[in-house]
Structure 1
Amino acid sequence: MTSAPLAGCILAGGLARRMGGGDKTLLPLAGAPMLARVISRLERQVGAVVLNANGEPARFAEFGLPVVADPIEGFAGPLAGILAGLRWARAHHGEAQGVISVAGDTPFYPADLAPRLLEARGPDPERIVLARSDGHMHPVFGYWPVSVADSLERFLREGTTRKVLAFVDLHPNTAADFTPEPGAADPFFNINTPEDLDAAETRARDEA
């Protein structure tokens, strides 16, 4: 766990259309639900974890985490999930400076995600930090100051776009680089199709 007070938010509210619908985070990977691997990796890096998902929360009961739905009506994308995490952190972990967000369908994300995001943030706890690798931004993997919650809600309710980077550009921000060594696997490989799940199964076996 990092020395800074942090909460973690796992975004599991996607529609999973290419997987046939349903909760792809509950699909088995290496003998356990994919979500179990995501939780285990995040719990080691933050003080508390919340799961953002819509619908009946009981389907995630086996994981023992609080579940919060999007506070914005309709499917508002990942920013709504981040807002849910920020609101939860403010209500239940008032000491948290910020929230580390991760995607529930990306089971191999960096085990040192949080400390490297904080290193890039520097001494300013109000700076948003997003992950980047190979020149590509990964906007659902980031550090979000709890203080931006009100601004984010206004952006989602009153703005003309719900794009993550459009919101980020309104605030002090930077990126943390996670470009892997040549030949190394992509840490932000996410599972969108049955073929992706097969590839993840192979990778999980190789890394075991």
Structure 2
Amino acid sequence: MTVAGVILAGGLATRMGGGDKGMKVVAGRRLIDHVIGRLAPQVEAMAINANGVASRWAEFGLPVLADSLPEYPGPLAGVLAGMDWAAENGFSAVISVAADTPFFPHDLVRGLQASAGPSGLCLAASPDETGRIQRQPTFGLWPVALRHDLRAALLDGLRKVVIWTERHNAGQAVFAGEADPFFNVNTPEDLQQAEDIARLLT
């Protein structure tokens, strides 16, 4: 399986006051720098899913993929953009990661591949503070062969990731660590918490 990575940065960041959350700084580096550094060794190519003016991401030298559907329909639209780009470039699957999640596992791709369901789909998951396993729907393995089915579902109004993945019997890969590996930065308060996690992990 040839795998490309897509960094999901297409949200509106309303709880952060707007703008690109990936440009916020944690532990002296922008969130997206952390994300690129973790993802690059795990995939054969990368792209950024983002809407608006693409040139603001030019310094990273990566393809910028806008949602192909209007009105910001959510992370599945970013996944679809990544799947279409990957198919055009000869990749068989896409790994999706969120641009505001700087601590995801260094073995994310290997774990997702090992736990993929019969369709090749897999979502990441992690235990919450009570030990309950929670799915992480912005972190997944997405075979490009399913892109037309996903497009049809989105055009039909589907927005929830897990509803679509359950239709295709997606697998689940559980990751755990000293801190939540999928902690994401949504608010200014989360930025401070991310600084605390970064100190814990160094």
TM-score range, shorter chain: over 0.9
Find the aligned partners of 2:26 and 2:176 in 1 and give their Cα distance. 25
Residue 50 of structure 1, CA deviation:
0.6
How many aligned residue pairs are there?
A: 197
Aligned: 1:31 with 2:28 = yes
Q: How does 1:106-185 map to 2 (within 5 A)?
A: 106-121=101-116, 126-134=119-127, 135-159=133-157, 161-180=158-177, 184-185=178-179
* Moved beyond 4 Å, runs of 4+: none
Residue 29 of structure 1, CA deviation:
1.9
Q: What is the match of residue 130 of structure 2?
A: none
Unaligned runs of 5+ in 2: 128-132
Find the aligned partners of 1:136 and 1:205 in 2 and give their Cα distance. 24
Find the aligned partners of 1:172 and 1:84 in 2 and give their Cα distance. 22
Find the aligned partners of 2:5 and 2:27 in 1 and give their Cα distance. 24
Q: How does 1:1-208 map to 2 (within 5 A)?
A: 4-92=1-89, 94=90, 96-121=91-116, 126-134=119-127, 135-159=133-157, 161-180=158-177, 184-208=178-202
Amino acid in structure 2 at the alignment position of 1:142: G
- What TM-score comes out, normalization by structure 1 length? 0.90
Find the aligned partners of 2:166 and 2:198 in 1 and give their Cα distance. 36
Find the aligned partners of 1:87 and 1:21 in 2 and give their Cα distance. 27
Please give the root-mean-square deviation of Cα atoms over the aligned residues, in Å.
Answer: 1.3
Query: In the TM superposition, what whole-angstrom CA distance separates every residue of 1:131-159 from its partner, at most 9, and x where no partner exists?
Result: 11111000110100010100010000124
Query: In the TM superposition, what whole-angstrom CA distance separates every residue of 1:86-108 from its partner, at most 9, and x where no partner exists?
Result: 0000112x1x2210000111100
Amino acid in structure 2 at the alignment position of 1:20: G
Amino acid in structure 1 at the alignment position of 2:194: A
Q: Is the 8 Å Cα contact of residues 82 and 94 (structure 2) preserved in structure 1?
A: yes
- What TM-score comes out, normalization by structure 2 length? 0.93
Residue 179 of structure 1, CA deviation:
3.2
Residue 202 of structure 1, CA deviation:
2.8
Unaligned runs of 5+ in 1: none
Identity %: 50
